[in-house]
Structure 1
């Protein structure tokens, strides 16, 4: 007997309603021919439907031909048929699991190499751990710079020996027509060496502005090289050459520059006005919960100077605690007073 077999590709359901009906019918008779099935009264199927159902059951192993009379159809235990049908699928799954494990093991061997490679400096990121090497790298970058240097130098006044070293380097840059812009803490206006340095370099074309709270130390040469501090306030530096990161650091600088004020010494601005402005910033940081050490770092002042300012502010408010100082300042509306931003004429005139 030759019957059409359905394709092994089936949908979500392996058995159709017609196949279930035919299987039940064969079970009742235990052995029956295809021709006899077409005459069973309660099996209401067309010849085409019957052929399709019988072929499908044979394909699935739920029916088989009788060993002595191949014209007879015999039902097969569904568990046995399912086991036979699932065997190649199970073998395929085991083989795929073996492949998955092999991929994991083989590629896992490269993981240590990958992590080690990420720890090593790449062409776009370089770590310079020693101060003398950092100075040499800065001098080399200065010699190669042709367009512009952007610099953020937090920390208040800079040491005279540092300024002296920077003087010759910056003078050479300006002589080549390189534009120089530098951000300082406002407190640098109280520092005599910084005032003298800025006065000399401003006369050669450099531009300087100050802010109360700079974003951190940064030097950018042209548009392709940036120096930032090494982690944990070490004396080393990280050199960045990746264009997207350098571009982002430039945008951070430009934003701070736009809100900064032209550098001038405290006496020129009026000591009383400068002190009032500084105390206002300290008061806002106190109200925000900053400790003396953190305030000093943010404003470029020594811890001793910071503590003196804090004590004077609390005394003027009549406060006996930081919390009370914040409450009294808020009641007086002092925390709502932002530092006056530079006008349009100031923004375009860096000294």
Structure 2
């Protein structure tokens, strides 16, 4: 039972006996477990070295330390060693990966051709993600990628963090905003920016798939898979820069107490803060543009602002969005 913290079976048997004695000599341990005196002393000295026992007097007698202190300290020390080994693992893996890339640079970027092949590799990428998925989303679209939404739902369900940056144009297209809203409700962290530089899906910051061109006819028929490298690191930095610039969209309402703010006003504030045009906001809320302008004016007045921009700033300061 104590092998994971570095104690063999003999040391553990000695420790169990020691817990039931006020003091134990090597000869007493040898008699109890049919050991030589040398074997018994080795087991007891191993307990002392591990911080689980003390030794005093001549002839030597060994006494157990409270397991809540001794074993806890030993477990923490072993955990620290494992953490250090984990850190070293990343370093060794990076060295190995660099050597592989030098030997065969084609492993850095793989060109994937054909809609079926692209779809299969994208599925492998998303299904294989263990910690995080980063995504840029922007038109053009040839078909509605319903399978991608399903894969993302599965990733969210197994605890994978998903962050997506959408081009504003995406949420203005018919049928595109609602799936984004549904995914946000499931845990996707979504932000919107005026435009994104490319379409991309990245898993665990180690591999990213992007279309080979932005041409509408080839956007889903040819792609490149970029594996862990400085190029992949640069894509991460590009994503983080756009993420920082983006406005949250369809995010859960903050928990700050807002007794005078209705759910409809909360939704309106979120959409205004995301930079949507009136037409898109009205469509999302299911109201006419005339009604939207009236509600916006009322909200601006209630916030004591003189413009929509000031209203957004006031809402951010109050923690409403």
**TM range, normalised to the smaller chain?**
0.3 to 0.5
TM-score normalised by L of structure 2: 0.45
Structure 1 length-normalised TM: 0.41
> Which structure: larger Rg?
1
